[in-house]
């Protein structure tokens, strides 16, 4: 249900809920890059707490903008630190948007790339949506000149890493939970990249964190924190996290393997406070 139209910035407020003294909001807007309506969520800290910075969160397969909001429990720490958290959807949506019956392709599985292949390319332009269109909205409506960090889970961890590597100018730090770090070498990534980008290895490499890092001639110095559950059911089958340790030109990375944790949001909620504290260090500088 639409609560109000905020016509001067093109955002429509869908819902607004008090949370830890701040406000959890949900907006829709007409997206040029996704060629349709897009929805995203924003947590705003209490008005009495000075805004410290923004964390952009990217979720994983099957998620929309609500999974992190309702499961990660990030609002308490965000309210204390004065962090705005922005959570976009993971793909374009709608009856007219190409889709697939599988959970790991189509709606809910945009993989944060700009598709070049029909029928996907009409709407699946998630890299541009996140790093240009939503970034413009964050800067013009929410951040008030404060700095921005990026984080994500699984497919969203891949999205956070490639955003930090390809649109570095926007971000002060990047973190990820159980990220797909080498999508061109794992089943989830190979399926999505071949569908959205065709069988073009150069195009795949442009959206693969390990391949992007290996192609760099200088060290990548942006601070990176990665948490990986040792009991993650996808750790080996989807080559999560481990391949990034073989990349030599990372000078500021902390990769942590956590005993007993699986791939779920129980893992995210267990360490999200540490990730927000990590980002707060760099947002402050």
Ligand X SMILES: N[C@@H](CCC(=O)N[C@@H](CS)C(=O)NCC(=O)O)C(=O)O
Give the integer Cα–Cα distance in Å for 124 and 35: 9
275 is catalytic: no
What is the DSSP code (8-state) at residue 172? S
Burial of 264 (0-12, 13-18, 19+ CB in 10 A): middle
For ligand X, the closer CB: 60 or 82: 60
For ligand X, the closer CB: 103 or 221: 103
**Could you count the other beta carbons within 10 Å of the beta carbon of residue 47?**
10
The closest alpha carbon to 152, from 67, 77, 46, belongs to 67
**Could you count the other beta carbons within 10 Å of the beta carbon of residue 45?**
23
- State the minimum distance, in angstroms, from the CB of residue 189 to ligand X: 12
For ligand X, the closer CB: 68 or 171: 68
- State the minimum distance, in angstroms, from the CB of residue 216 to ligand X: 27
Give the integer Cα–Cα distance in Å for 196 and 171: 26
- State the minimum distance, in angstroms, from the CB of residue 219 to ligand X: 29
Q: 29, 158, 263, 279: which is the annotated catalytic residue? A: 263
Q: 89, 104, 208, 232: which is the annotated catalytic residue? A: 232
- State the minimum distance, in angstroms, from the CB of residue 85 to ligand X: 16
For ligand X, the closer CB: 51 or 61: 61
Give the integer Cα–Cα distance in Å for 249 and 277: 25
170 is catalytic: no
- State the minimum distance, in angstroms, from the CB of residue 34 to ligand X: 20
Give the integer Cα–Cα distance in Å for 98 and 188: 18
Binding site for ligand X (CB under 6 A): 60-63, 67, 71, 103, 153-155, 263-265
154 is catalytic: yes
Residue nearest ligand X, CB atom distance: 60
Summarize the chain as % helix, strand, coil (round to 5): 35, 25, 40
Residues serving a catalytic function are: 154, 232, 263
């Amino acid at each position: 249900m639409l609560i109000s139209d905020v016509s001067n910035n093109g955002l429509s407020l869908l819902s607004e809920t008090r949370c830890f003294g701040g406000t959890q909001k949900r907006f829709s807007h007409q997206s040029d890059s996704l060629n349709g309506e897009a929805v995203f969520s924003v947590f705003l800290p209490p008005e009495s707490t000075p805004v410290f910075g923004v964390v952009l969160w990217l979720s994983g397969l099957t998620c929309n903008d609500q999974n992190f909001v309702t499961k990660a429990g990030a609002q308490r720490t965000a309210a204390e630190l004065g962090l705005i958290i922005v959570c976009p959807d993971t793909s374009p949506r709608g009856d007219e948007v190409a889709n697939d019956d599988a959970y790991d392709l189509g709606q809910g599985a945009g993989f944060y790339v700009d598709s070049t292949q029909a029928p996907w390319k009409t709407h699946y332009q998630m890299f541009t949506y996140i790093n240009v269109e939503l970034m413009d909205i964050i800067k013009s409506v929410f951040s008030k000149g404060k700095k921005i960090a990026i984080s994500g889970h699984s497919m969203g961890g891949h999205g956070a890493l490639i955003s930090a590597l390809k649109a570095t100018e926007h971000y002060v730090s990047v973190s990820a939970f159980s990220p797909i770090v080498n999508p061109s070498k794992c089943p989830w990534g190979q399926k999505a990249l071949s569908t959205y980008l065709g069988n073009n290895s150069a195009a795949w490499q442009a959206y693969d964190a390990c391949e992007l890092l290996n192609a760099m001639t200088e060290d990548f110095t942006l601070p990176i924190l990665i948490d990986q559950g040792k009991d993650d059911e996808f750790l080996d089958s989807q080559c999560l996290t481990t391949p990034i340790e073989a990349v030599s030109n990372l000078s500021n990375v902390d990769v942590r393997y956590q005993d007993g944790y699986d791939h779920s949001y129980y893992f995210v909620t267990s360490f999200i406070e540490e990730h927000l504290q990590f980002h707060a260090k760099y947002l402050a500088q």
